[in-house]
Structure 1
Amino acid sequence: MSKSILLICGSGASSGFMAANMRKAAKKEGLDYKIKARSESELGDYMDDIDALMVGPHLKAEFDGIKERVPENVKVILMHADYYSILDGKGAIAHLQEELGD
């Protein structure tokens, strides 16, 4: 089953690179994940159509507030700085799978 994943960061720039790397890693693993990246300010436009929301580590201070804004059925995950800082798509996919129980 396909899962829709949204990545957000402050401006959408760094998460755009991360999303591209995650799409490559997911494809290699044979996972049907639709991964897109947007800025935090665009969250409201996308949150009803996603299964999981991955939040950039630099938004940690806003994490609880972001979590409160999304529907309860959406898994909200704070990305780890160790893989995010080097745009390690494989590490991000492993974390996502762990959180989703896939």
Structure 2
Amino acid sequence: MRILVVCGAGASSTFVAQRVRRAAQERGMDHSASAGTARSLPIDLDSADLVLVGPHLATDLDRIRDDAARRGVVVVLLPDDIFADVTGARTLALVEEALRVREPADTM
């Protein structure tokens, strides 16, 4: 699973990506996580399976979802308090939930 975390400038997304990657490794999951920006998103989508969108980009969510859907990429809007998730466990749970929700549609 290739996770892309997107924020405005790339700083906060870097922290979230590091934390979710570490949480996945601790659980023995083969997930990678990288950080990106709203500006680099059109290029970065090609190397992602799932995009975690920073809460401050909520106004761009429809456009991001449209771009991602064309590539079969799942998009999750992160909650406002996600930056307090210092272990990455809560963020990883959001990833797992998004994948569970997607599963039934993939088998149709």
Name the TM-score, length of structure 1 as normaliser.
0.89
User: What number of residue pairs does the alignment pair up?
Assistant: 99
Paired residue secondary structure (1:81): coil
Deviation track 1:53-95 (CA, whole Å, cap 9, x = no partner) reads 110011111111111122251111101123x131441100001
| Other structure's SS at 2:72 match | coil
Which residue of the partner structure matches residue 73 of structure 1? 72
> CA RMSD for the aligned pairs?
1.4
Where structure 1 has 5 or more consecutive residues not aligned to the other structure, the ranges are: none
Deviation string for 1:25-75 (max 9, x for gaps)? 011111111100011100111112211011001111111111112225111
1:39 counterpart residue number: 37
**Larger CA Rg, structure 1 vs 2:** 2
Which structure 2 segments of 5+ residues have no match? 104-108
What is the aligned partner in structure 2 of residue 96 from structure 1? 95
**Residue 2 (structure 2) pairs with residue 4 (structure 1):** yes
Stretches of 4+ moved more than 4 A in 1?
A: none
Offset at residue 16 of structure 1 (A): 0.2
